[in-house]
Structure 1
Amino acid sequence: LKPIELRYALCHPAGCTAETDATPEILDQMSKGGGIMILAMNAAAQPIGFPVPLDGYNEAAAGPPVDNKKYAEARSQLMAQIRQRQQQMAEKWKADEMKNLPLDAPGAPPTTTGSTKNK
């Protein structure tokens, strides 16, 4: 493994990102390797490793480039499906919660099953 030291390019509330150019040397190493290891620092300044397999890399690199328009359309459809699923799950959760509420909630008038008139 050959380390590549990167400097932070951007920091935001979720963390910092670093970038580098994909030089011919890096691309050659990726085509000959089985994977790469991304190292990051956690909140306690301890390194965390994220292994990334490169299965299929050579075929993808040799193939045609991604059609950005098709990618954007597919991503938009996926995000719409995710939003719809989230809404369905939220509605189901709300319905389940309503089923689990006690019949006589505190502060609510008591439920009656018959006439309230005196006999």
Structure 2
Amino acid sequence: MPAYKDEKTGTWYCKFSIHSVTYYMESRVLPYFNDKTINEISPAYIRKWQNGLITDGLRPTTQHTINAKLNTVLNFAVKYYGLQKNPCSVTGLRCVEVLALTPADTLRITIRSAVPPRPV
């Protein structure tokens, strides 16, 4: 996977992650928030946007990813640009939580999917 180093900060970045962030911001965040300044974004507006992600049929993990990108931008605005409060921190996430599988769960699922069902 291609990577590059930011010479100013010394941080390594994966090009794939930069492309995915750009894609999500341009396709899912900016069209909805483009006409608002950052201090006009309210928790109610965030909630409407989250509902739009749900009605678009996106998977919960994708909803979470997109919400996390917007949350990061708004946290940056709070820290460096004087935004009083991050509206995402008020609304939280509206998607289903993803549960992590243990190695035993993964093995059990793999074995079940490999064994053909018995005829009835």
Using the size of structure 2 for normalisation, the TM-score is: 0.23
Determine which structure has the larger strand proportion and give its number: 1
Q: Which of structures 1 and 2 has the bigger CA Rg?
A: 1
Q: Tell me which of the two structures has the higher relative contact order, counting C-alpha pairs closer than 8 angstroms and 6 or more residues apart.
A: 2
Using the size of structure 1 for normalisation, the TM-score is: 0.23
